[in-house]
Amino acid sequence: MKKVLITATTALAGLTALLVANLPANAAGAAPASFAMCATCHGVTAGGSAKMGPHLAKIMGRKAGSVSGYAYSPALKGSGITWTAAQMDKWLQNPRALVPGNKMPFAGIADKAKRAELIAYMKTL
C-alpha cells in the first residue's frame, strides 16, 4: 500500500509540474471574463492598436487623462485623479458620479466582486 501511495504521489507531482510548465507565460495576469466589456474599447499594451478608449497599460498609479495621443474630456483631464485601487473602484462603480462630464459611455458595475477582480487585473498591466 505504501509503495502504491508513493508511486501515485510521484506521478501526481510530475503531472502537476508538466501542466505548470505548459501554462502560457501570462496566465498569472490573464484577463478575467468581466474584462471583456472593457476590452471592447481599451487595449492593454502601450502603443498597441488604437481603440475607442485609451490603453490601460500601467494604469494603476497613473494620472487620469495622461495617455498621450488620446483626446480625453476636459472633465477627466482636469480631475486631478491618480488611479489607485480606491479611485478605480469608484470609477468602475459610477464613472459619471466620480467625474461629471467625462465622455466614457459606460454606466458602471454594481457588483463589488467584479470591480475587485478588474482592479486586481489592472494592477498586473
Looking at the domain assignment, is residue 46 inside a domain?
yes
Q: How many CB atoms lie within 10 A of CB 109?
A: 19
Looking at the domain assignment, is residue 41 inside a domain?
yes
pLDDT tops 80 at residue 12 = no
What was the pLDDT predicted at 20?
34
Looking at the domain assignment, is residue 14 inside a domain?
no
**Residues of the domain holding 88:** 29-122
Sign, CA torsion 58/35/50/92: negative
Query: How do residues 87-104 score in pLDDT, each as one tens digit?
Result: 999 999 999 999 999 999
- CATH code where residue 34 lies: 1.10.760.10
φ/ψ of 63, rounded to 5, equals -75, 135
What was the pLDDT predicted at 21?
36
Looking at the domain assignment, is residue 2 inside a domain?
no
Rounded Cα distance between 61 and 6, Å, is: 49
Average pLDDT over residues 64-91: 96
Looking at the domain assignment, is residue 19 inside a domain?
no
pLDDT tops 60 at residue 1 = no
Domain count, the chain: 1
Residue with cell 492593454: 44
Query: By C-alpha distance, which of 96, 105, 99 is closest to 79?
Result: 99
Query: How do residues 15-43 score in pLDDT, each as one tens digit?
Result: 333 333 333 334 446 899 999 999 999 99
Looking at the domain assignment, is residue 3 inside a domain?
no
Looking at the domain assignment, is residue 1 inside a domain?
no
Mean confidence (pLDDT) of the chain: 82
Looking at the domain assignment, is residue 102 inside a domain?
yes
Rounded Cα distance between 93 and 116, Å, is: 10
- For residues 60 and 88, the answer to whether their CB atoms sit within 8 Å is yes
What was the pLDDT predicted at 57?
94
